[in-house]
Each structure stands twice: as structure tokens, then as C-alpha cells.
Amino acid sequence: MAAGKPDKSELDKGRKKRAFKKNLVAYSFIAPNFIGFAVFTLVPITFAFLLAFLEWDGNNPVKFVGLENFKALVKDKFFIASLKNTIIYSIGTVPLTLVSSLGLALILNREIKGRAFFRTLGFFPYVASLVAVTSVWTMFFHSSKGPVNAVLYYVFRVPKENLPNWFTGSLVLLMLILFSVWRFMGYYMVMFLAGLQTIPRELYEAGTIDGANAWQRFRFITLPGLRPTTFLVSVMLTINCFKIYDIAVMLAGGSTNTLSVSSMVLVYYIYQNAFNFWKLGYSSAVAMVLFVLVLAVTLIQFKGQSKYANE
């Protein structure tokens, strides 16, 4: 990032001209993507920002309501429940997925037999259709017929009436966390695998010659080399966790796709307000909270990353 700072001894004019040309070249790189991005994403998002201060049903004229939407949030039981659930879920999912996907990538980066097969297998839960994989999970943890409860009953002698209902109450978040780790492990594994390829092999060879053991090689070569990837993975992981929606609906929504207070998540509430109640302003206010939350976490990660980068 620090590459090519303009030379201070240069003439001011020439410097400006060169800086201008440099900017122009850079913008020409960004333009093709940025134009599409700005028109199709940035503009509607900016509008969504404004929506948080408006009352709008999508058709009738907009009405400015100031901070009313945000004031209503504080008293909203469902909002608070969904905020709490989302945070708990993210705290549980992010570290677990990070560690397991890195582990998986390290294993599958070694030269083992059937590597391509195992990699595909690891990626499988992510590409398989959600309907299919959630139905497997619900059967697995089925309260009266599922194999998990059967083990609890026959092996651990848990009485029948005490067998857990995995998809209700406080257990449902645990279910969501486990499922997400399982589903997304392979996805982030792919990122880590790609990241691992950018670490020059010579570094490992040099490390081995210097007598570094496996742990030292991991700690002093792999981890620093993976830093940009780790940043990417942790940011994407955090964002995606906070945006959990369809998994919750498919896994905990049952046949009516309704989430109860114990499983409601922010995006579900956003969706409900937007498309069932058509309170677009209010749903945008909920999204603002989500947005600020995610941004705060991302900024912390950003700070952490640049601190390490300067080490």
C-alpha cells in the first residue's frame, strides 16, 4: 500500500501532473466495476439509508418522521429478541468456523491421497441445496425419531420426557451455530486454500533448514502469510453471520416459516417488516442497527489487521 510515494524533491508542478496521471490510471482500473456497483448497489443503498428516517409503504408518498423509527425500536420486544439472538449466534459461529475452516484447509493443503475428492466433499455442504441439507439436519435431531435422541435414550438413559427438543427454546441457537459451522466450513476453507498458495515455498524450506518445528513454521510463516486472507475471512464471516436469514427460517421456521422469539434474527425481522407489513422505513431502521454493528466489528478487525501489518 505504501508503494510509490511521490518524491519530495520533485518540482511541485510535475508532482501534481504525475499524481493526476496516476490517479487517472487508478480510476481507469476501478471504473468498470465501480460504475456498475455505484448505479445498481450504492444508489439504492443510499436511498435505504434515508428510508430509516421516513415512513414509506413502497407506493404512497413518503413521510419524514425523523428519529421516530429508532425510538420505536427501543420498545420493540421482537427487535430486542432478534438483536440478542443474532449477536449470540455470531459470537458462537465466527470463531468456530474460522478455526475449523483453517484446520480443514491446512489438512487438505498437504499432499494426501484423494485430496481433490476430500476438498469437493468439504465444499459440498455449501453448494447443496438448503432444502436438502436442512431436511437432513431436522431428521437427525428429530425429537422422537432422530438418531441423536435415540443415542441419548438408549445409551445415556435419558428418560423419554426429558429428551431435548432441538429446534425450540434455547437449544435452537446451538443448532443454528452447529449447522452454520458445518455448512460454511468448506466455503472459507476454499478462501484459505487460495491464500495458502500465495505463501512462497522457499520460506518453508528456509524454515526447515533453520530447524523450525511444525508449530513454529505454522506460527511464523503460515499465519503471517495468511494475514490478508484471515482478514478477508473474518470480515466476510462476521458480516454473513450477522446477516443470517434463510438458514434460520429453514431450520427453525418449521413448516410455517415462522420464527419464535427464541429464534428470531435481525434479517428475518427486517424481511417481515418490509414484505409482510410494508413498513419499509422501520425495516430500514432495523437494518441500520445491523449495519452499525457489523461496521463496528469490521473496523476493529481492520485496526487489528493494520496493527499486525506494521509489526
Residue list 272-311, contact with another protein (CB under 8 A)? 272, 274-278, 280, 283-284, 287, 290-291, 294-295, 298
Does position 174 interact with another protein (CB under 8 A)? The reply is no
CB of 150 to another protein, least distance (A): 10
10, 14, 17, 45: residue in contact with another protein (rule CB under 8 A): 45
Report which residue type is found at 42. L
> What are residue 97's phi and psi, to 5 degrees?
-65, -40
Query: Quick one: which of 186, 293, 300, 301 has its CA closest to 234?
Result: 301
DSSP element (H, E) containing 162: none
What span, in angstroms and rounded, lies between the C-alpha atoms of 196 and 24?
Answer: 33
CB of 177 to another protein, least distance (A): 15
Residues of this chain, 230-249, that bind another protein according to CB under 8 A = 231-232, 235-236, 239, 242-243, 245
Residue pointed to by grid coordinates 432495523: 286
Does position 64 interact with another protein (CB under 8 A)? The reply is no
CB of 92 to another protein, least distance (A): 19
34, 64, 91, 99: residue in contact with another protein (rule CB under 8 A): 34
CB of 57 to another protein, least distance (A): 5
Per-residue burial over 3-21, b = 16 or more CB atoms within 10 Å of its CB, e = otherwise: eeeeeeeeeeeeeeeeeee
How many residues belong to the site for another protein (CB under 8 A)? 131
CB of 194 to another protein, least distance (A): 4
Residues of this chain, 104-143, that bind another protein according to CB under 8 A = 104, 107, 109-110, 112, 116, 118-129, 131-133, 135-136, 138-139, 141-143
What span, in angstroms and rounded, lies between the C-alpha atoms of 269 and 288?
Answer: 13
16, 17, 57, 219: residue in contact with another protein (rule CB under 8 A): 57
Does position 91 interact with another protein (CB under 8 A)? The reply is no
Does position 216 interact with another protein (CB under 8 A)? The reply is no
**CA 58 to centroid of chain Cα atoms:** 29
91, 165, 208, 308: residue in contact with another protein (rule CB under 8 A): 165
Q: Which residue intervals of 141-279 are DSSP H helices?
A: 147-154, 171-196, 201-209, 214-217, 223-225, 227-242, 246-252, 266-271
- The CA-based angle 56-250-184, given to 5 degrees, is 105
For 119, residues 6+ apart whose C-beta sits below 8 A from its C-beta are: 108, 189, 193
- In the bound state with another protein, the residue whose beta carbon lies nearer, of 92 and 172, is 172
Residues of this chain, 2-31, that bind another protein according to CB under 8 A = 2-5, 22-23, 25-27, 29-30
Report which residue type is found at 110. R
In the stretch 186-215, what mask flags binding to another protein with x, by CB under 8 A? xx--xx-xxxxxxxxxx-------------
Part of the chain binding another protein (CB under 8 A), chosen from 9-17, 41-49, 83-91, 215-223: 41-49
- In the bound state with another protein, the residue whose beta carbon lies nearer, of 62 and 88, is 62
- In the bound state with another protein, the residue whose beta carbon lies nearer, of 125 and 174, is 125
Q: Which residue intervals of 38-127 are DSSP H helices?
A: 43-51, 68-75, 77-109, 115-127
| Spatial contact of 206 and 221, defined as CB atoms under 8 Å apart | no
CB of 29 to another protein, least distance (A): 4
Number of Cβ atoms within 10 Å of the Cβ of 237: 24
